[in-house]
Amino acid sequence: MLQLTKLKKTSDLDLSMWWSDGVQTTISIKRLRDECPCAGCKGESVLFESYAPVKLPIARPGMYDLKKIDVIGNYAIQPLWGDGHNTGLYGWDYLRQISTPVEDVSASR
């Protein structure tokens, strides 16, 4: 089973993640927030009907300001954002999906 082994803020803009299968991925903090999987951000799917919330045209102050990240059990992270939002639970599979694999330059010939 895929596990996140290490999570590190590599700059003010990016996070790096290391996975149990040896892959390293990266994600921008902005994208992490944009992909927030909670019902308020992504909408809820009820049977075959899905409800998509209207995106606010103006970013709320602090919404891309990553305050901290809690690890929930051994299956997800829960970030706290500058605007107080913290209902997004990012499971490992989802996190892996929305992040980008980093080419390991030292491993190439």
Q: Site mask, Zn ion, residues 66-105, x = CB under 5 A? A: ----------------------x-----------------
Q: Between residues 38 and 80, which has the closer beta carbon with respect to Zn ion?
A: 38
Which residue, 40 or 84, is less far from Zn ion as judged by CB? 40
Q: How far is CA 72 from CA 29, 54, 75, 83, 91, in A?
A: 19, 28, 6, 21, 9
- Name the residue nearer to Zn ion (CB basis): 88 or 92: 88
Local structure of 85: helix, strand or coil? coil
Q: Would you count residue 41 as binding Zn ion (CB under 5 A)?
A: yes
Alpha carbons within 13 angstroms on the beta-carbon side of residue 91 total: 6
